[in-house]
Copies of this chain bind each other. A is one copy, B any other.
Amino acid sequence: MIDLLLLGNTGMQPLPDRWLSSLLVRSGGALTLFDCGEGTQIPLKRFGWGFRQIGAICLTHVHADHVAGLPGLLHGMANADRTEPVAIYGPAGTARVVAGLRTIAPDLPYEVTVSDLRGGESFPLPGGLTGSALSGLHRIPVVAYRIHVGRGRGFLRDRAEALGVPQPLWGRLQRGEAARWPGGDATPEQVLGPPRRGLSVGLVTDTRPLPTMPPFLSGVDLLVCEATYGDPADAEKAVAYRHMTFAEAATLARDAGAAALWLTHFSPKLTDPSLWLPQATTVFAATTLGYSGLTTSLVFEP
């Protein structure tokens, strides 16, 4: 299961009633935060998923509206008594920026590692997730993320019973190890069902849509995607500033074969994003407008 919480839905600057775009992901009790603009610790505190459990912070890029909240977050995690290491990922330049921001968070009770990504990498994330990065196209280096949790093959209890496998050995077989007992043996292949789908989420923000993205995001259960501009008349601005329109985000979700789409990172000028929702839903029906506090739980199919 992967739980997701959108902390904010706004780009450029935090507003009196709207937090900056940021996504919190929970898996196996551990948390990964995607982007951390100014003020992100406030909805984080309000929704109460915890600070101590944050084991990784994935930054899409180092523009202030995606990273300025990092020192406050690191302090908040220290105040919550985190002692385990924290891994920060981001595109080229991230290590330099984190070092700069840590001038105001120099002493922390946990180790912080920073990895600059080129795009193309996969890396472990807390709670058994795997992260992958893809280069995007913005005014500075940016990466899109895909996170994935695999699912083990099903255990065919009837077959195990028919083979006479003693119950204490079932766990071995489930873990993919052979089992032997007085009077018989069994291999995992004999008692495990076919491979099963895991769960995947894509996070794409502050980039133009690229032809590399649909394959990278292929079949995600949820795509969380920027949609800076609602009005199709702003399509040229989206090109100029290297963002996306609602329609472009929906097209990406459709082309990737995503199951669902959350729109976020609305321009501060977009006071009522719902006015432009049809721009997305006519292309991709399963679109939800992001807001601070939007959550979902992705579960394995039955």
Contact = CB atoms under 8 A, between A and B. Distances in A.
A237 to B, nearest CB: 15
B42 A41 contact: no
Interface stretch (A68-76, A130-138, A196-204): A68-76
Contacts of A64: 71-72, 75, 104-105
Contacts of A39: 14, 38-39, 42
A166 interface: no
A38 to B, nearest CB: 4
Q: Oligomeric state, in number of copies?
A: 2
A71 B72 contact: no
A76 B41 contact: no
Interface range, A side: 20 to 34
B96 A62 contact: no
A41 B41 contact: no
Contact of A68 (B14, B62, B71): B71
Contact of A101 (B13, B16, B45, B103): B103
10 nearest CB pairs, A to B = A100-B103, A100-B100, A16-B46, A64-B104, A38-B72, A39-B39, A97-B103, A64-B71, A68-B71, A68-B72
